[in-house]
Amino acid sequence: MGIVEIDADHTPSTGSGATTGRYGDGSGLAVTSDVIALQLAHRSVRKFTSDDVSEDQLRALVAAAQSAPTSSNLQAWSVVAVRDPERKRRLATLAGGQGFVDHAPVLLVWVADLSRARRLAARSGLAVDATDYLETTIIGFVDAALAAQNAVVAAESLGLGSTYVGAIRNHPREVAAELGLPDGAVATFGLAVGVPDPSEDAGVKPRLPQGAVLHHETYDAEAADAHLPAYDERLGAYNGRHGLTGVWTERVLQRLAGPSSMAGRHVLREVLTDLGLRSR
């Protein structure tokens, strides 16, 4: 069976036995649902029409985000919706000059937020010393990620598209200043949201074969890594079709080579301390 074509309006094929482009090999799922079909059809959207994202749509995305689980119901995140063209442009520049950020009608900046707890503590005259620890910083990042991913899926269910902007961590101090973030809050990643421009040449990117990431009972590195050569071949072919070069292995090694490949993010630990997230 061949790869299912995804329509420009993101209507995926559904139903039991649907195949998917997600693994790039036409492998199918014996069990599925409309929701799973929508998830499997996910692609990054970096080209948007001039259509706006309405306030009602935004409220729906944030309600979905808030419905995600959160550690101990701490809800240790906030989100800043940026529409102002000048502010968006400045944030796009801080995030490595990625033009698509600038052209999205709304940029959602997801914030790991321990500042709310600090304010509660200050008003009560109590301490929240747990906010000084790496564990709690990570709760903030994970809570933000769970929430944001619900918003991504919600957006796609409304015909919107998005792309995460991890490069918001290239200059976290400047981003915090731009957004007026209080002590104890840091921007984790952005999410550019808009109506997908059907002219964008983008497909469903194949991921690692499932056997490379799913282990049973215990971790089996040898069995998992046996799937990597086939993936390199598939991703290389996909990249070739989309004007990109290189196989996965090369790209991973380049991206993780060392501090010089990290776009300034090797200092994140120091920056977090400056922003009031000591992460000890």
- Looking at the Cβ atoms of 3 and 121, the one nearer to a copy of itself is 121
Q: Does 95 bind a copy of itself (CB under 8 A)?
A: no
- Looking at the Cβ atoms of 13 and 75, the one nearer to a copy of itself is 75
Q: How many CB atoms lie within 10 A of CB 191?
A: 25
Please state, in angstroms and rounded to a whole number, the distance separating the CA atoms of residues 269 and 261.
Answer: 17
> Among residue numbers 109 through 138, which ones bind a copy of itself (CB under 8 A)?
111, 114-117, 119-121, 124, 126-131, 133-136, 138
Q: Does 236 bind a copy of itself (CB under 8 A)?
A: no
Tell me how far, at minimum, the Cβ of 202 lies from a copy of itself, in Å.
13
User: Quick one: which of 47, 57, 103, 175 contacts a copy of itself (CB under 8 A)?
Assistant: 57
Q: Does 221 bind a copy of itself (CB under 8 A)?
A: yes
Please state, in angstroms and rounded to a whole number, the distance separating the CA atoms of residues 132 and 276.
Answer: 8
Tell me how far, at minimum, the Cβ of 187 lies from a copy of itself, in Å.
10
Contacts 24+ apart (CB under 8 A), 69-73: 69/146, 70/143, 70/146, 70/147, 71/139, 71/142, 71/143
- Looking at the Cβ atoms of 178 and 274, the one nearer to a copy of itself is 178
User: Quick one: which of 202, 228, 230, 247 contacts a copy of itself (CB under 8 A)?
Assistant: 228
> Among residue numbers 22 through 41, which ones bind a copy of itself (CB under 8 A)?
22-23, 29-36, 38-41
Please state, in angstroms and rounded to a whole number, the distance separating the CA atoms of residues 131 and 114.
Answer: 7
Nearest to 171 by CA among 85, 113, 256, 97: 97
Q: Does 93 bind a copy of itself (CB under 8 A)?
A: no
Please state, in angstroms and rounded to a whole number, the distance separating the CA atoms of residues 231 and 24.
Answer: 9
